[in-house]
């Protein structure tokens, strides 16, 4: 346990109490678990704190833990340019997955969140423009989910795809993307 881990942990605990769970330090990254509704506040705190200064958002990553109950996860990797520390924030989400967007904290979150929406269907609430980024408009399903076949579903353009019904996504049926 390094000095900085205990420092980061103490500062977060002082501000948030027990709501942010600490997951330990491994391979150069301090990991924390946050409930989805705290994520924006936590990111703002980590970015704006005069000692911590996690000013750089490296990455946002969607994960599918099929078939667990809290199936989805959004993982944020933050970097502090002045301190050269890295932090990972993990956020478990239910089905359908919804989490507030951090585009208000970092503009770079825009495309990361669009990618996670495109691949996993994680809906980032408050995102200014949550469109698909890699797949084309009108594509059905979220290809990186664990229950999506590797070769896609069989149709006229994809004779090698898996047999089965074309995916009907209940949360895609409502077209009012936030």
Partner 1 sequence: MTEVTELSRPAGEALDTKEVLLNLGPQHPSTHGVLRLVLELDGEYVARVDPHIGYLHRGTEKLAESFTYTQIFPLTDRLDYLCPPSNNLAFALAVEKLLGIEAPIRAQYIRVLMAELARISGHLLITGALPMDLGAMTALVYAMREREMIMDLLEMISGARMHTSFCRVGGVREDLPDGFFPKIREFCDIFPNRIRDYERLVENNRVFLKRTQGIGVISAEDGIDLGLSGPNLRASGVDWDIRRDEPYEIYDRLAFNVITRDEGDCYARWRCRVEEMRESVRIIEQCLDQMPEGPFQIDMPTIAFPVNKDKVHCSMEALIQHFDLSAYGFKVPKGEVYSAIEAPKGELGFYIISDGSQKPFRMKVRAPSFVNLQGLFGVSNARYLADMIAVLGSFDPVMAEVDK
Asked whether position 136 contacts partner 1 by CB under 8 A, the answer is: yes
Asked whether position 4 contacts partner 1 by CB under 8 A, the answer is: no
Q: Are 30 and 85 in contact (CB under 8 A)?
A: yes
Q: Taking contact as CB under 8 A, which single stretch among the options 13-21, 27-35, 159-167, 169-177 is the one that binds partner 1?
A: 27-35
Distance CA 170, CA 8 (A): 40
Residue closer to partner 1 (CB basis): 2 or 37? 2
What's the closest the beta carbon of residue 91 comes to partner 1, in angstroms? 14
| Residue 139-168 contact track with partner 1, rule CB under 8 A, x = bound | ----xx-----x------------------
Asked whether position 138 contacts partner 1 by CB under 8 A, the answer is: no
SS3 per-residue string spanning 117-135: HHHHCCEEECCCCCCCCCC
- What single string gives the DSSP state of each residue in 28-81? TEEEEE--GGGHHHHHHHHHH-TTT---EEEEEEEEE-TTSSS-EEEEEEEEET
Asked whether position 110 contacts partner 1 by CB under 8 A, the answer is: yes
Length of the chain, please? 178
Asked whether position 111 contacts partner 1 by CB under 8 A, the answer is: yes
Q: Are 103 and 88 in contact (CB under 8 A)?
A: no
Q: Which parts of this chain interact with partner 1 (CB under 8 A)? A: 26-29, 55-59, 61, 63-64, 75, 77, 81, 84, 86, 88, 106-108, 110-112, 119, 128-129, 131-136, 143-144, 150
């Amino acid at each position: 346990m390094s000095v900085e881990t205990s420092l980061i942990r103490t500062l977060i605990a002082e501000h948030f109490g027990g709501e942010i769970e600490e997951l330990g330090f491994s391979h150069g990254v301090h990991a924390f678990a946050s409930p989805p509704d705290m994520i924006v506040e936590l990111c703002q705190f980590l970015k704006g704190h005069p000692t911590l200064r996690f000013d750089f958002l490296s990455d946002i990553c969607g994960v599918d833990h099929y078939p667990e109950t809290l199936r989805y996860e959004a993982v944020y990797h933050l970097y502090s340019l002045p301190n050269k520390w890295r932090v990972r924030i993990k956020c478990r989400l239910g089905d359908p997955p919804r989490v507030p967007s951090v585009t208000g904290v970092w503009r770079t979150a825009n495309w990361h969140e669009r990618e996670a929406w495109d691949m996993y269907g994680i809906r980032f609430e408050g995102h200014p423009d949550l469109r698909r980024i890699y797949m084309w408009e009108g594509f059905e399903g979220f290809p990186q989910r664990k229950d999506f076949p590797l070769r896609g579903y069989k149709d006229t353009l994809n004779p090698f795809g898996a047999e089965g019904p074309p995916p009907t996504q209940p949360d895609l049926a409502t077209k009012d993307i936030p």
